[in-house]
Amino acid sequence: MNKDAKIYITGHTGMLGSITLNFFKENGYSNIITTTHKTLDLINQQEVDDFFNKERPEYVIHIAAKVGGIKANIDNPAIFLYDNLMMQSNVINSAHKYNVKKFVFIASSCIYPAVSPQPMKEEYLLDGKLEPTNEGYAIAKIAGIKLLETYHKQYGFNGITLIPSNLYGSNDTFDLNHAHVLSSLVKRFTDAKNDNASSITLWGTGIARREFLHVEDFSKAILYFFENYNSPDCINVGPGTDISIKELAELISSKVEYSGEILWDDTKPNGMLKKCMDVSNMIKEGFKPSKLLETGIEEVIESYKKLK
């Protein structure tokens, strides 16, 4: 791979995008271009077309997305569906139109059916109904995958799709309206500890299980598959092991030394009860994440404490 090739990374200010941008630079890629929402609205087809016509990137890493936790997805399903559909469609179409050599698309494990055999293999996509709480976001991501597949079939376009498990990291948002589950729990327990709260109430029952991947590991995966993979077949990326939300809450509670009671509001949704991915294809291709969950959690806790 030519380290001087022009690479366009979308979403470079977000949790994943910022880490990925830095990791590519650290590995010698010196001609990376980025945009912000102020300089380029990815939802606007004409703006995206004009940008590609002017800049002519050779490679695209599409990370930009409208993301959020269960509550945000429940409250804004149309926004999650529309915004993500438009962004990825505009970027993929312009990438093809202006002869981008390779396109990396980031999907999500929520694309798999709500009731799915475990661990979830890539071929289980579209085998059943989606989890209602994030259906809009999931449909958009599935559409992105299928758009790349059809562009490959019809035009020979080189697009690859990576499907990460639940991402977390020190640079995640701690805004409870937009935070992912792990950073949300870190904030809730740290605040409860500081406020000497006698109890904390969490959504659901805690029985739902999730697989967590540190954003640094996933940025390494993006670079690895960018350099070494050229198939339209999706690749699951994750540790291959999961943990219940109850176990995660207890682990974070212990790490921040919170001694109050943990209560569960079973009138609130759990989301998918289990979504651990089969990562045998990832391993077969030569990649494996390395950061331990406990280590990553400790880093997120320290990051949040520095914001206080």
Query: Per this entry, what is the length of the chain?
Result: 308
| pLDDT tens profile 25-35 | 999 999 999 99
- Asked if residue 103 has pLDDT above 90, the reply is yes
Mean pLDDT of 110-138: 95
The answer to whether 235 and 163 are in contact (CB under 8 A) is: yes
Lowest model confidence (mean pLDDT) among 41-45, 68-72, 154-158: 68-72
Residue 88 banded pLDDT, cuts 50, 70, 90: very high
pLDDT at residue 41 in the model: 98
pLDDT at residue 249 in the model: 98
Residue 11 banded pLDDT, cuts 50, 70, 90: very high
Domains of the chain in start order, with CATH, are 7-169+211-240+276-291 (3.40.50.720), 181-207+243-273+300-307 (3.90.25.10)
pLDDT at residue 176 in the model: 85
User: Does residue 137 have an active-site annotation?
Assistant: yes
User: Cα–Cα distance between 229 and 225 in angstroms, integer?
Assistant: 5
- The single residue of 29, 59, 112, 137 carrying the catalytic annotation is 137
Strand partners of residue 213: 167
- Asked if residue 177 has pLDDT above 90, the reply is no
- Asked if residue 87 has pLDDT above 90, the reply is yes
The dihedral built from the CA positions of residue 227, 232, 238 and 239, taken in this order, carries a sign that is negative
Lowest model confidence (mean pLDDT) among 84-88, 158-162, 174-178, 274-278: 174-178
pLDDT at residue 237 in the model: 99
- Asked if residue 137 has pLDDT above 80, the reply is yes
Q: Which residues contact 242 (CB under 8 A, 6 or more apart)?
A: 209, 210, 211, 274, 275, 276
Record the tokens describing residue 119, joined without a space: 């661990």
- Asked if residue 178 has pLDDT above 80, the reply is no
- The DSSP string of the chain is --TTS-EEEE-TTSHHHHHHHHHHHHTT---EE---TTT--TT-HHHHHHHHHHH--SEEEE-------HHHHHH-HHHHHHHHHHHHHHHHHHHHHTT-SEEEEE--GGGS-SS--SSBPGGGTTSSPPPGGGHHHHHHHHHHHHHHHHHHHHH---EEEEEE-EEE-TTS---TTT--HHHHHHHHHHHHHHTT-SEEEEES-S--EE-EEEHHHHHHHHHHHHHH---SS-EEES-S--EEHHHHHHHHHHHTT--SEEEEETTS----SB-PBP-HHHHHTT------HHHHHHHHHHHHHHH-
Residue predicted with more confidence, 270 or 196: 196
Surface-to-core class of residue 38, CB atoms within 10 Å of its CB (0-12 exposed, 13-18 middle, 19+ buried)? exposed
- Asked if residue 156 has pLDDT above 90, the reply is yes
- Asked if residue 293 has pLDDT above 90, the reply is yes
The answer to whether 136 and 266 are in contact (CB under 8 A) is: no
In whole numbers, what is the pLDDT of the chain averaged over residues?
96
pTM passes above 0.85? yes
Phi, psi values for residue 62, rounded to 5°: -95, 100
Mean pLDDT of 196-209: 96
Per the listing, tokens 């639940």 go with 166
pLDDT at residue 271 in the model: 82
Within 10 A of 5 (CB to CB), how many other CB atoms are there?
A: 15
pLDDT at residue 69 in the model: 78
pLDDT at residue 189 in the model: 98
Mean pLDDT of 266-284: 93
Residue 101 banded pLDDT, cuts 50, 70, 90: very high
Mean pLDDT of 74-80: 95
The answer to whether 6 and 24 are in contact (CB under 8 A) is: no
